[in-house]
Amino acid sequence: MVSRRRTGMGPAKSRAANSQAGSRPFDVIDVALENPGAGSSSQEHDKDKQSQQMSLREDLPSIAVLTLLYMFQGIPIGIAVALMGILKERGATFSQLSTFLLSSWPFSLKILWAPIVDSVYNKRFGRRKSWLVPVQLLLGIGLYVLSSCIDTWLEKGNLDITKLTGAMFCMYFLAATQDIAVDGWALTMLKATGWASICNTVGQSLGILIASTGYFLLASHGYITLPAFLAYASVAFIVATIFVALFINEGGGGGGGDGVEEAAAC
């Protein structure tokens, strides 16, 4: 018979004390694993927040320029939307409307010439501006020419859908090429590239709104005619393009070593 040695601590108390003493080191380890460097992580979070705010402030001029460029991209699209309503009001058939809708195809096919826009450029002028400036100038000239012909092509009872579709197809082609150049420029213009999609959405929507709803609102009150609106849009394109060519620097966009310089531009 083995006699139990009595101590001053009962069995229940000794078990509780042993469990507390045994679990204490593991509790310390658990806390250390759950919150490793809690102070340093909060400091890093504050630094990241400050750096994001600083980069946003530095990107604000670039965001404004990109939004402006995307807005001009949306103007030809808005003009096409307005023309659809005008054609329907002047008695266009569904067959004629479907023919006119073919003018928007360049935006769906721009992947075919996007590699050319990305790789062929004049290094001294800039990788993106080599395409952006001439394309926008052509858009401005094209809108001015269109303003002088649009009333003839939209004559009620004698709609010239073929010429109208061909002209708008050219406008869409130039706008799609401008879109390729601006999308590529956004990658080097912005520090936080996430703003590029916002500039695209806001700018293009604004351009479509101005050229469709804005035109109809002004025309309904007799403030402007379609030829005058196209002429004003033409002037806006040319002025904005000259501003971009003279005062906007590409930064790192024009110095890429993977481009092929245009022989004619050297």
Q: How many other β-carbons are positioned within 10 Å of the β-carbon of residue 248?
A: 20
pLDDT at 118: 93
pLDDT at 260 over 50: no
pLDDT at 13 over 80: no
Cβ–Cβ under 8 Å, residues 154 and 82: no
Placement of tokens 């005062």 in the chain: 247
| pLDDT bracket for residue 168 (50, 70, 90) | very high
Q: What is the pTM of this model?
A: 0.75
Lowest mean pLDDT across 133-137, 194-198, 232-236: 194-198
| pLDDT bracket for residue 191 (50, 70, 90) | confident
pLDDT at 266: 38
Using CA atoms, how far apart are residues 174 and 169, in angstroms rounded to an integer?
A: 9
Using one digit for the tens of pLDDT, what is the confidence trace for 39-95? 556 656 555 555 556 677 888 999 999 999 999 999 999 999 999 999 999 999 999
pLDDT at 238: 97
Using one digit for the tens of pLDDT, what is the confidence trace for 84-134? 999 999 999 999 999 999 999 999 999 999 999 999 999 989 999 999 999
